[in-house]
Amino acid sequence: MKYHDPVLLDQAIEGLNITADGTYVDVTFGGGGHSKEILKRLKTGRLIAFDKDADAVENSITQDQFQLVTQDFKEMGNWLEENDIGPIDGVLADLGISSHQIDSPDRGFSIRYNSDLDMRMDTREGLSAMDVINGFPENELARIFAEYGELRGSYKMARLIIAARKINKIEKVDDLKSTIKSITPKAGENKFLAKVFQALRIAVNDELSALRQLLQTSGEVMKSGARLVIISYHSLEDRLVKRYVERGGFDSEMVKDIYGNPQLIFKSINKKPIMADAEEVARNRRARSAKMRIAEKI
């Protein structure tokens, strides 16, 4: 199954600084592009990959050194402990949504198809975007659009949704688009709607909470000198990664001990995020917003 071309592939593999006997984790397996390149560099080492999307199983790799875990990467720490694996030599995460998921008309991720408002990465469980749109109160909807979509007029949007759903359930992509049409700018319509859909997707899949947990767990399971490579696609994700690496936590202040000494878990390998060059962006549109940060466990 064609998922997508792996973004920043060469840079990510270089960033992991792979040793032939190391143990690595790819927490966003998807189409297996990054995993296949990691495996090429292993001899006696092993690779564990995570992906909760049932479609990803079709891309699984039949190689003794490889294991695909069909769970959310939030379970990485527990799974590694239960299977007595560790410490880890490197963790890779290619966050966001795959081209396969966007291009699947029945998943509800894209503004191009009039599908059900689903947006769940794991269609086996959890609330769908339809549940959020039709069930969440006004204040919570407004918070989602403002915080996760970084949209102005979030309360006005929430009020339009509340009013519309009292008349008819908002079930389809086009239902939502028509509900907020009066506040959708004609110039930049697609960008605006993309932010609306991004906000809902983040809320449905609890993506920022999952990223926080991934960063914290990675620090716990990785050995000193191990590499963490994170590819993100919007400022909310990139900001979390940057803060955690540079400050040891998610707040604006540096984490310090009682004596005022910084309590850092990682050190940055690249001070500025690595981005795709023009050639890769021309070949793969998904790469245009990608930012990669590499950190080393102290």
Residue 287 counted as domain residue: yes
What distance in Å separates the CA atoms of residue 292 and residue 279, rounded to the nearest whole number?
17
73-82 residue pLDDT tens: 999 999 999 9
Give the contacts of 98 (CB within 8 A, at least 6 positions apart).
Answer: 3, 4, 30, 31, 53
How much is the pLDDT for 172?
Answer: 97
Whether residue 217 sits in one domain with residue 75: yes
Q: Which domain holds residue 159?
A: 118-205
CA dihedral 93, 34, 23, 294 (to 10 degrees): -50
pLDDT of 16 strictly over 50? yes
Residue 4 counted as domain residue: no
Write the DSSP symbol of residue 256: B
Whether residue 144 sits in one domain with residue 19: no
- Which one of 205, 226, 244 terminates a domain? 205
How much is the pLDDT for 4?
Answer: 61
Distances from the Cα of 179 to the Cα of 146, 160, 249, angstroms: 18, 7, 39
How much is the pLDDT for 109?
Answer: 82
Contact 94, 35 (CB under 8 A): no
Residue 64 counted as domain residue: yes
Residue 5 tokens read as 């071309």
127-164 residue pLDDT tens: 999 999 999 999 999 999 999 999 999 999 999 999 99
- Which one of 137, 172, 205 terminates a domain? 205
Whether residue 136 sits in one domain with residue 55: no
Whether residue 269 sits in one domain with residue 255: yes
How much is the pLDDT for 1?
Answer: 46
Residue 128 tokens read as 């769908």
What distance in Å separates the CA atoms of residue 162 and residue 159, rounded to the nearest whole number?
5
Whether residue 230 sits in one domain with residue 191: no
Location of structure tokens 């688009």: 177
| Burial of residue 5, with CB atoms counted within 10 A of its CB: 0-12 exposed, 13-18 middle, 19 or more buried | middle
The radius of gyration of the chain from alpha carbons, rounded to an integer in Å, stands at: 20
Residue 239 counted as domain residue: yes
Residue 12 tokens read as 């990510």
Whether residue 227 sits in one domain with residue 187: no
Strand partners, 46: 23
| CATH number where 234 lies | 3.40.50.150
Question: Nearest CA to 222 among 214, 231, 232, 233?
Answer: 214
Whether residue 49 sits in one domain with residue 197: no
- Which one of 205, 225, 251 terminates a domain? 205
Mean pLDDT (whole number) for 56-79: 93
Q: How many distinct structural domains can be found in the chain?
A: 2
Whether residue 176 sits in one domain with residue 41: no
Residue 143 tokens read as 């918070």
How much is the pLDDT for 3?
Answer: 55
Residue 2 counted as domain residue: no
Give the contacts of 22 (CB within 8 A, at least 6 positions apart).
Answer: 42, 45, 89, 90
How much is the pLDDT for 21?
Answer: 98
Taking the model in full, what pTM does it have? Answer: 0.92
